[in-house]
């Protein structure tokens, strides 16, 4: 396993990082010595997250951004590199859910989920890839889900977004592999966060669920693996079914 400061001098970017999984990942990367850039749509929660990270001695840049908007993505990437230096690690974590019969969903429901969970990853990849290619190094890590592999009632739109994300991740990994860039997916099962208290988490025992730090640990493993190693996908389940 990596030493404490394995990412010293590197810059990491994490979307949807004001709480939950994204915040845990940002904190872990910072603890490993990385400078960390975070975004969220909620300015107040983002400010609180940045303050907490700084309290732990982490060099943080925080910017409110809607990752479904190309202009927001481009600005976030540009300002991150201006503030912290060239980006080497990107974690696409921002996500939303819709859980209910697909035939009852609106077009707006579909657009919100697909734009946030899938289109945003495409936009971020386009924004960061030129720099990563030029430097011939880097990591893009997409936080997917077991919902990208398993169907369940009421999960049509969410599953579609995560199945698409896994397919996109695998293809981009092949596109960028020759440049020394590793593109990976992390697929957790149910994680104890505020993400979906009335959706996929309903009726589950939170103490038996995965925790945000478990997902952050998987990201740590990916960004600290040996140069000749490429772990393309991590599938995570709780030890006991919640």
Token reading at 91: 């974690």
Q: Is 107 left (phi over 0), alpha (psi -120 to 50) or beta?
A: alpha
Distances in whole angstroms, Cα of residue 115 to Cα of each of 9, 38, 69, 97, 118: 32, 19, 9, 11, 6
- Where in the sequence numbering do the catalytic residues fall? 158
Of the candidates 26, 77, 82, which has an alpha carbon nearest to the alpha carbon of residue 223?
26
User: How many beta carbons lie within 10 A of that of residue 135, not counting itself?
Assistant: 14
Strands 87-92 and 60-64: unpaired
Tokens 């397919």 belong to 167
């Amino acid at each position: 396993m990596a030493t404490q400061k394995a990412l010293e001098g590197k810059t990491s970017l994490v979307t949807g990082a004001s709480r939950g999984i994204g915040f845990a990942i940002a904190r872990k990367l910072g603890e490993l010595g990385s400078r960390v850039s975070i975004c969220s749509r909620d300015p107040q929660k983002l400010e609180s997250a940045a303050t907490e990270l700084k309290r732990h001695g982490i060099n943080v840049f925080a910017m409110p951004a809607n990752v479904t908007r190309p202009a927001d993505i481009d600005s976030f990437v540009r300002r991150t590199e201006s503030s912290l230096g060239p980006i080497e690690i990107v974690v696409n974590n921002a996500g939303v859910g819709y859980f209910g019969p697909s035939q009852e969903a609106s077009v707006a429901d579909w657009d919100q989920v697909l734009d946030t969970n899938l289109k945003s990853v495409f936009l971020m990849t386009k924004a960061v890839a030129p720099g990563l290619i030029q430097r011939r190094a880097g990591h893009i890590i997409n936080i997917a889900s077991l919902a990208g592999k398993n169907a369940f009632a009421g999960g049509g739109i969410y599953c579609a977004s995560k199945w698409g994300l896994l397919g996109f991740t695998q293809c981009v990994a092949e596109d960028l592999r020759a440049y020394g860039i590793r593109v990976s997916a992390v697929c957790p099962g149910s994680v104890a966060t505020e993400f979906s208290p009335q959706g996929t988490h309903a009726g589950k025992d939170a103490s038996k669920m995965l925790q945000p730090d478990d997902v952050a640990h998987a990201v740590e493993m990916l960004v600290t693996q040996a140069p000749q190693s490429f772990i393309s996908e991590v599938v995570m389940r709780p030890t006991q079914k919640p």
